[in-house]
């Protein structure tokens, strides 16, 4: 696993972040789903360089993985939290998920992803 890959960043985040076990388990599940999914190019998203991800890539991940607005919002929330942590720890310079507006949804969220 490359030290510049999205999967590496996910693993570092899960290893080093300080969260309750319940929140960490939920976020880990979402991140695992993301890095195991395939990009349009056919490669796994986990192999992509994390420092090259842009807002449009986050929107693509959100729209490709989940079919309900609540689940799509959760994907963006988890990615934003991870990149926020990475900015704080000087791993990346910016958070590509920052400023992505939440989609209107019903009550709560249910992960309805692939």
pLDDT over 70, % of the chain:
91
Cβ proximity of 63 and 72 under 8 Å = yes
48/46 Cα distance (integer angstroms): 6
- Count the neighbouring beta carbons within 10 Å of the beta carbon of residue 76: 20
- Count the neighbouring beta carbons within 10 Å of the beta carbon of residue 107: 6
- 3-class DSSP assignment, residue 1: coil
Torsion 20-107-28-13 (CA) sign:
negative
- What pLDDT sits at residue 25? 97
Give 43-58 pLDDT, tens digit per residue. 899 999 999 999 999 9
């Amino acid at each position: 696993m490359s030290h510049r890959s999205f999967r590496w960043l996910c693993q570092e985040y899960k290893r080093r972040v300080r969260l309750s076990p319940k929140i960490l388990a939920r976020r880990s599940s979402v991140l695992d789903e993301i890095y195991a999914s395939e990009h349009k190019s056919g490669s796994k998203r986990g192999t992509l360089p994390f420092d090259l991800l842009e807002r449009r890539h986050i929107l693509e991940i959100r729209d490709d993985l989940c079919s309900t607005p609540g689940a799509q919002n959760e994907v963006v929330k988890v990615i934003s939290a991870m990149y926020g942590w990475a900015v704080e720890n000087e791993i990346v310079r910016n958070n590509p998920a920052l400023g992505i507006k939440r989609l209107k949804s019903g009550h709560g969220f249910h992960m309805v992803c692939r």
